[in-house]
Amino acid sequence: MDTLHADLLVIGFGKGGKTLAAVVGRTGRRVVMVEQSAAMYGGTCINIGCVPTKALIHRASGRPQHADPDKWFAEAVASTATLTSVMRDKNFRMLDTLDSVTVVTGTAAFLDDKRVEVVAGADRLEITADTIVVNTGAENVVPDIPGLRASAHLVTGTDLIGSPDLPRRLAVIGAGYQGLEFAAMLHRYGAEVTVLESTARILPREDDDIASAVRDILQEEGITFVTTARVTRVEDAGDAAIVHYEADGVAGTVPADAVLAATGRAPRTAGLRLEAAGVRTTARGAIEVDEHLRTSRPHIFALGDVNGGPQFTYISLDDYRIVADQLLGEGEGKRSTTDRVAVPYTLFMTPPLARVGLTEAEARAAGRPVRVAAKAVADLMAMPRASIVGEVRGLMKFVVDAETDEILGAALLSVDAQELINTVALAMRTGVTASVLRDAIYTHPSSTEAFNEVLATVVR
């Protein structure tokens, strides 16, 4: 077996890991990056996550009514594959062009806390390292529903963005962010979509008014929702799957060409042999880490989705900053996960829903004195951009502390929400009050100036 020694070994080419490898490599230290597949250079985001899904969503919004759905979708998938291929190559070259960095393609598993074996076909490579970073991400969870895993029509999000074949009928199990993004996107390409959700409403973590506004928009576009739906089994019948469910004591079925399991993603740790390294995992299967992302072995770190934190690319990037601070000392080793305040996120439907901070329900449950500012986008006189671009659907909502004027949270269901939410998050991090955000001067016509009007409606 060949052997190799590194100052830093990174397992997984995700955002945090690749950034750390590049930064440490530029210092002249010996770095080895191990990635299981050449098709995943650059990580989940650019290959099967953020980039391809958002590219397909963008293309879907531009589909002319007369365009053939199947052809338009196939062309969109092909163009997206070209985009991800270019980005994947750039990510590979980012590391491969550094003399101190070696990229190894193969499956990694721990031999002990200092040694990792990498297997690629008949080839074996043993890597020893002073510092090891696990950055293997997460994988789709398929619920234990009779017949689902065996169905020829079961698909994941990865399957849907990689196939040129548009499913004519799509059943989505789960009405969270992933499920709704795919439901909205594929419906716009021409698929008939039914969403099955086990709870009483979609987006169960959001406030009732926000969830209702999202549902209204998607239902008006033609998506069917079945809530309180317990999927009992899936059976293949001819060229389709039949999804059986019960909702409020009534049995029903949904025929589908594809069944998307959108019930979450779990940390990808299978096959790593973490026990050989003495690395502990949590009850939910994530690698256990402290606030500096060190595992139960101080020289082994875990970045990104695999450590059980929020599953966002930008959190993985912040994970890199924390570990780089430990290894390079630029922040005196003080940076930690406890520094994170007001982390925003977005559901990329049309219009997008962006959220940050506490919901109204969460703020009230925490005993905070709450005032709410909310207004429908269609009623906003101070936001002509919505009318200019022809998208006046949605709702803007702020949750404010009634005593301190602190912004506790916001939900923006509107055009440009994915950008607006970053301004709100920055305000929350830096102590800018609701009144200051309300009275700020914004460019015109822009979506941001809606804050002038929405934050003037604090009524309860």
Q: Which architecture characterizes domain 345-454 according to CATH?
A: 2-Layer Sandwich (3.30)
* Among candidate residues 44, 53, 52, 56, the one with its CA nearest the CA of residue 12: 44
Cis, peptide link before residue 351, omega less than 30° from 0: yes
Cβ atoms of 328 and 27 closer than 8 Å: yes
Q: Which architecture characterizes domain 2-139+266-339 according to CATH?
A: 3-Layer(bba) Sandwich (3.50)
Task: For residue 34, list its beta bridge partners.
Answer: 11, 104
Where do runs of H (alpha helix) occur along 135-282? Answer: 157-162, 177-189, 208-221, 274-277
Tally of CB atoms within 10 A around 338:
8
What are the residue boundaries of the structural domains of the chain, listed by start? 2-139+266-339, 154-263, 345-454
The yes-or-no answer on residue 5 being catalytic is no
Q: What is the CA radius of gyration of the chain?
A: 24
Buried b (16+ CB within 10 A) or exposed e, 42-69: bbbbbbbbbbbbbbbbebbeebeeeeee
Amino acid residing at 445: P
- pLDDT tens series, the chain, 460 aa: 688 999 999 999 999 999 999 999 999 999 999 999 999 999 999 999 999 999 999 998 888 878 899 999 999 999 999 999 999 999 999 999 999 999 999 999 999 999 999 999 999 999 999 999 999 999 999 999 999 999 999 999 999 999 999 999 999 999 999 999 999 999 999 999 999 999 999 999 999 999 999 999 999 999 999 999 999 999 999 899 999 999 999 999 999 999 999 998 999 999 999 999 999 999 989 999 999 999 999 999 999 999 999 889 999 999 999 999 999 986 677 899 999 999 999 999 999 999 999 999 999 999 999 999 999 999 999 999 999 999 999 999 999 999 999 999 999 999 999 999 999 999 999 999 999 999 999 999 999 999 999 999 875 4
Instruction: Name the active-site residue from 58, 187, 299, 444.
Output: 444
Same fold, 2-139+266-339 and 154-263: yes
Count CA atoms closer than 13 A to 112's CA, side-chain side: 3
Which CATH fold would you assign to the domain 154-263? FAD/NAD(P)-binding domain (3.50.50)
What pTM was estimated for this model as a whole?
Answer: 0.92
- Chain centre distance of CA 277: 29
Count CA atoms closer than 13 A to 149's CA, side-chain side: 7
Q: Is 238 exposed, middle or buried (0-12, 13-18, 19+ CB in 10 A)?
A: exposed
Q: How many residues does the chain have?
A: 460
